[in-house]
Every structure is written in structure tokens, then in C-alpha cells.
Amino acid sequence: MSHSILKKYGHFAIRDSGVPNESHDYVTLVLLHGFAWHSGVFSRLLPLVAKFNSRIILVNRRDYPGSDPLDEGEIRSISSIGDATPDANAILDETLVQAENIPRTGGLVVAGWSFAAAWVTALLANAADFSINGVQLGAYIRRAVLYDPPYHALGYPPPAKFYNPLSEPSLAAGEGVKLFPSWVSGYYLHGNSPAELEHRIALPEPRPTIETMSKEDIEAALFPPSANPGGSDQILMDTGIRCGLYAALRKAALYPPVSPLSSGNPESDWASVTLRYIWCDRSVWEMPWGTWALQSELENAKNVGIYSRRVQFVKLDGANHFEIIEHLKMELLEKMADLGSVRDLSQQKEREAAERALEIQDMRQSDLEGQLADLQQELRSSESTRQTLQIQLENARADSEGINISLQETAQNLEQAEYCTPGTCNEWPE
């Protein structure tokens, strides 16, 4: 594995493939790492992208090698990280745009792997508020990518019964941290429903990714301190779940406050950014569980006429959570950043806006058709009710006539009884 030198950008350290062949229209992919594994896990990708007129920038998050640690005050205020994180992300990306002269023609793709999905949703939820040194970052964004995130990074609840070595109470202290790398990098055979998810037992083949890596490769990519009990990522994850931060970020990212069809302001630039969701069907159960939860949420929103950010789902068959480093598949990078098929960003935004307009028009048409069907059903119900009431009225009239006849007969009987005594009966008067 070739490991590039880390370069400092503000609070962050990055690995950078550099400008491809002095190009002026390349795509830049900014990739954020997950829990415990830092940007070194992706470093073999760096020399592979130049021929695709693309650039990759791998970011080490705070408290990972080369980046600034979180101080005690920041850790104590971790519940407000939803405000702090997008600020840091926006500063990083806007600094890159300025300092590195990122071409607007190619634009930026911001991707978060695994736990870093929370940083991408935070960026989408809040970055429209940031404009640093006149840079409107939204105008540069080609798309945002969530790459195989776990359910908790999106704020969804777990199933009633689940297994994760980091939270398994039956394990001795410190044992879960040791088991986690093999568990999370295994291949799992899941069914097509939540009840058929495999929580514990990985397939014997292929082996877990970490078991196929050399000691040198592991040391260059794995950084346990942040993930250990009391580490900043562990605190971030636990506190964010407990206070509902990740659910709030997901909702804010999915349902922007302005129409994606608006134009001419930073908020609409961000509202129109497509979210591409890439998931691996052999990953540990936490990833398909989160995928199904998101798909269900978006389907329910569509059914009730709630317009959401455009989300594209991409399924990687037979892939585990470490597919991007397991096989170095350039097809995966293509799915993230359209490497090798660069289009002018403004043209892409126009095309996607037109596609989104058609989608929204179809949704509105479906809404109108649904409303018409409801009205027709109400009319049918009203007609049925009217017919029922008419029958009831006719029955009531018939009952009333019967009662009148009975009353008349009773009255006659009473009058006749006045002229009759036991043993005798006077003539009925004319």
C-alpha cells in the first residue's frame, strides 16, 4: 500500500492525489473516513484517478492522525456538534475551493463512508448558512454521497434485538474493541427482510477484510484511540444517538426548507444537490437495516405528498463494508463521482433540475389523482349513504302508516267497548 504524506488544512489533515495533468475541468472527490479507520484506508486510490480527469482528497477527521484533537470544552459540548461540524466542513471545503483553485466546471463531490455519513448530513442540513470569503460552496457541489452508512449515523433506532461487539454486555471490558474490526469487515448473508438479517456470524469465505491485510496496512489505516471507550468518536456516537442529533440532521438534510426548483440563492443551490446512497448487501447488518429504514421513510413521504431531496440508491451486490479497498474497484468511484464521464457542472445541475421537476410534477399528478379518487370515493359513499337514508325514510314512513292504522283500530275498539257490558252489548251507534 502506498501511503501519501498528510497535509494540514485548518483543523484537518488531508491526503491529496493532486491536479490531474494540469486539467482545468476535473472532478474533485472529498472523502471522509468512518469509525476507527482513518483516511489511510483509502490511500491506494490516490494514484489511480488521474487518468479519469479526477482528483481525490482524503480527509482525516478531528482526533485522527495529523488533524487537531478535540479539546475538553468541545467534547463537553458535543451535543451541539450539529452546529460545529457543518461549520468545520464548510470551512474545509471552501478553503480547498480557494487555496486549490478547484474548477467550478468539474465541481466537488463530498462523500462520507460509514459513520462519516453524519458529517455529510450535517453539511447538507446547515451549509447553506455559510459563505466564507465570498465562496458559495453550494454552487460547486456536484453531489453528496453516503457510502454504506450504519443506521445510527442516520438516527434510526435499532431492532428490538441486535448484536454489536462494542455494546455487547456479555463481553469482558475491552473485548468488544478487539472483536469489532473483524466483525465490521466480514461478509454476511442476509435475507430480504429485517427478520432475516444475520447479526453475528460472518461467512467463512470471503474472509473479513482485516484478516487479509498486512500488519503494515492495518497500522497505516486503523486508529483505535478515538473509538475506544472515552474516545472522541465513541462519545460523539453515543451522545449523538442519545440526544437525537443524527435523526435531526437526517431530516434537515432530506427535507430542505426551500424548493429545489428555486434558483438564484445559496439555499436553493443546496436544496438541489442530489444525495447518492451507496450500500453493500454483504455488509454487517447495521448497513442494510439503515438502508431499508431510509427507503421506507422516503416512500412514506412520497405517498403523503412531502417533497424530499432527490436520493439515488445504488446497491453493490456481494460487497462488504470495505469494498472500496477490498478490490479497488474504479466502478465504485465512478458511482460516487462520475469519474471518467465528466460533464460541465452547470449542465449537470440543469439536467438534474429538469429531472427533479418532472419527478415533482409526477408526484403532484399522483397527488391530484389520489385526491380525485378520494373525492370519487366520498361521492360514492355519499350516494350510498343517501340511498341508505332513503330506504330508512321509506321504512319509517311505512312504520308510521302501520302505527296510524293500529291507533285507529285501537280507538275504534275503545269506543266499541263503551257500549258493551258483561253479557250485553248495545248497538253500535250510527
pTM tops 0.75: yes
Give the contacts of 331 (CB within 8 A, at least 6 positions apart).
Answer: none
Q: Which DSSP category does 420 fall into?
A: E
Q: Which DSSP category does 55 fall into?
A: E
pLDDT one digit per residue (tens) for the chain, 430 residues: 444 688 888 888 999 999 988 888 888 999 999 999 999 999 888 888 888 888 999 999 999 999 998 887 776 665 454 444 544 555 566 667 776 777 888 888 999 999 999 999 998 988 766 665 666 777 788 899 999 999 999 999 999 999 999 888 999 988 888 898 899 999 999 998 888 999 999 999 999 999 999 999 999 999 989 888 888 898 889 888 988 999 999 999 999 886 555 554 545 678 888 999 999 999 999 999 999 999 999 999 988 888 889 999 999 999 999 987 776 666 777 777 766 555 565 566 556 666 666 666 666 666 666 666 776 777 777 777 778 878 878 887 777 777 777 777 777 777 666 555 555 555 544 4
> On the CB side of 77, how many CA atoms lie within 13 Å of its CA?
10
**Whole-number Å distance between alpha carbons of 415 and 221:** 111
CA 141 to chain centre: 18
Query: β-strands 275-280, 311-316: how paired?
Result: parallel
The answer to whether the beta carbons of residues 181 and 213 sit under 8 Å apart is no
Strand 311-316: give its sheet, edge to edge.
7-9, 12-16, 54-60, 27-32, 108-113, 141-147, 275-280, 311-316
Report pLDDT for 84.
45
The answer to whether the beta carbons of residues 258 and 236 sit under 8 Å apart is no
**Whole-number Å distance between alpha carbons of 151 and 288:** 8
The answer to whether the beta carbons of residues 270 and 124 sit under 8 Å apart is yes
CATH of domain 7-343: 3.40.50.1820
Report pLDDT for 322.
92
> Which segments of 342-428 are extended strands (E)?
420-421, 424-425
Report pLDDT for 392.
79
Report pLDDT for 81.
47
Give the contacts of 280 (CB within 8 A, at least 6 positions apart).
Answer: 148, 287, 315, 316, 319, 320, 321, 323
Please state the φ and ψ torsions of residue 135, each to the nearest 5 degrees.
Answer: -85, 120
The x, y and z cell numbers of residue 338, run together, are 462520475
The answer to whether the beta carbons of residues 57 and 96 sit under 8 Å apart is yes
The answer to whether the beta carbons of residues 317 and 280 sit under 8 Å apart is no
Cα–Cα separations (whole angstroms), residue 125 to 107, 113, 402: 20, 18, 73
Give the contacts of 313 (CB within 8 A, at least 6 positions apart).
Answer: 277, 279, 291, 295
**Whole-number Å distance between alpha carbons of 136 and 266:** 7
The x, y and z cell numbers of residue 195, run together, are 427478520
Please state the φ and ψ torsions of residue 89, each to the nearest 5 degrees.
Answer: -65, -45
Helix/strand/coil for 63: coil
The answer to whether the beta carbons of residues 339 and 27 sit under 8 Å apart is yes
The x, y and z cell numbers of residue 146, run together, are 453516503
Report pLDDT for 397.
79
Closest C-alpha to 20, from 104, 102, 140 = 102
Report pLDDT for 83.
45
